[in-house]
Structure 1
Amino acid sequence: MTLGSQEFKNIAFGCANSNSDGFPQSSGLVGLGRGPLSLTSQLGFKKFSHCFASLDLKKKSPMLFGSLVSINASAATGSTQSTPLVQNKEFPSFYYLSLLGITVGTTKLNIPSSTFALKSDGGSGTIIDSGTTLTYLQPKAYNIVRKAFVSQTKLHVADGSTTGFDLCFKATSNTTFGVPKLILHFQGADLDLPESNYFIHDKDSGLLCSTIMPSFDSAIIGNMLQQNFFVIYDIAKNILSFAPTQCEKL
């Protein structure tokens, strides 16, 4: 494998004839986890980053490895924040974070931080994952977040069962959505999200749907929630950093 001008030998990768991940247009996944077969592990990099451009822009989303990892100040639209990466011995390849709370609108919701915490048996916890599209919250937390969006949004709740989403509102293309803010509070960092990261508008159906869904166990911060943020994984220091960034300008 060659990246730029650097050649890497003895790289293991696989090819599948039948993919059942629900995304038939995808040709595969680039493994970025901590496991020995991930791309980052095989290449020996202790730091990598990605910046996902908005889906509707159809622009390239850059990835950087090793010494190339740095935030372009000219493209950044806000300050850089950092939070510790938490390791789970039961599932060592995943990147866990300490999610402490959630704010919807101007209200910090009454969700105990223990709801998101990693359990002693390795269950639950909060994972950040570039390979998962939607964001998932533990049922108890999700129900509180859903109720907050419904009570603070002036649009009418609509049946979104045909879309695969749980919470949808009826919204024409001429509507100013007025969806309340969403902020995720991590240890030492607050992820203040733009509306387009957690709601998606289908102009054909006129539905505005939340990209947050209930999970069975762990919370997962998916890639749609990470749009237009420069995200750095510093594996050596066990730190995740992020900054709001115009990814298409990198």
Structure 2
Amino acid sequence: MHLDEPMQYTGLIPRVDKQYYGVNITGVYVNGTRVDMDTKALEFDSKGNGGAFVDSGAWGTYLVDAAYRPIISAINVTFAGFETISTGPFNVCYNTTGRAGEFPKAPKLEFVFAGDARFAPHPESYVLRIDETMTCLALINATAQRIKYSTIGAMLQQRFAWELDLEKNILGFASSNCADTA
């Protein structure tokens, strides 16, 4: 496996049940601009509530409403002029009927973890072209699903190497090309 960049690290926050391990997200950027939102919704409180989990067993990325709405609003600026629709598991899709060739390049999405570790998932991991008529965001409103925390799921984790050190309670990650074994 070839890493495209050096590993970055952030602290892991073990849950009382030790079943899940969380991270604190201290900021989110879209196209280099910090999203105006209350980041406390993405950080664990003193009782272990809230925060975000990195879960390779969940396909989608679920964001609590306080984070979801401002992030989607920031992303929608890039796709202004395209009708938004909701279908299947996706909360936000764009109608590209007859205009697929006009669809703009995906905005850069970046999550800042505690310790200033910056996770910028590959655009094809969160902007999915379903077919010629529809492109969807693989970001889901957790609150609408009655989920009380955020989860960075497997889709967003694609093309990254992940290192979980439970002794030191740290999570490492770096963009990688898993197909490249040189």
TM-score, with length taken from structure 2 = 0.88
Deviations 1:149-173 (A, max 9, x none): 1123245033232x32011112355
| 1:191 aligns with one of 109, 113, 119 | 119
Contact 1:81 1:241 in 2 (8 A): yes
**4+ residue runs over 4 A deviation:** none
The higher radius of gyration belongs to 1
The residue correspondences of 1:1-250 to structure 2 (distance < 5 A) are 72=1, 75-89=2-16, 91-161=17-87, 163-171=88-96, 172-188=99-115, 189-204=117-132, 206-215=133-142, 216-250=147-181
Deviations 1:78-127 (A, max 9, x none): 221111111222x4210101111100112101222311121333322111
Count of residues in correspondence between the two structures? 174
How far off its partner does 1:176 sit?
4.8
Q: Which has the higher contact order (CA 8 A, sep 6+)?
A: 2
**Structure 1: gaps (5+ residues):** 1-71
Contact 1:155 1:170 in 2 (8 A): no
* Structure 1 residues 155 and 229: alpha-carbon distance in aligned structure 2, compared to 1, 3 A threshold: farther
**Structure 2: gaps (5+ residues):** none
Tell me the equivalent position of 1:9. Answer: none
Say what the alpha-carbon RMSD is for the aligned residues. Answer: 1.7
Tell me the equivalent position of 1:54. Answer: none
Aligned partners of 2:101 and 2:39: how far apart in 1? 38
Aligned partners of 1:223 and 1:99: how far apart in 2? 17
Structure number with higher strand proportion: 2
TM-score, with length taken from structure 1 = 0.65
Contact 1:231 1:243 in 2 (8 A): yes
Aligned partners of 1:248 and 1:127: how far apart in 2? 26
Aligned partners of 2:65 and 2:156: how far apart in 1? 18
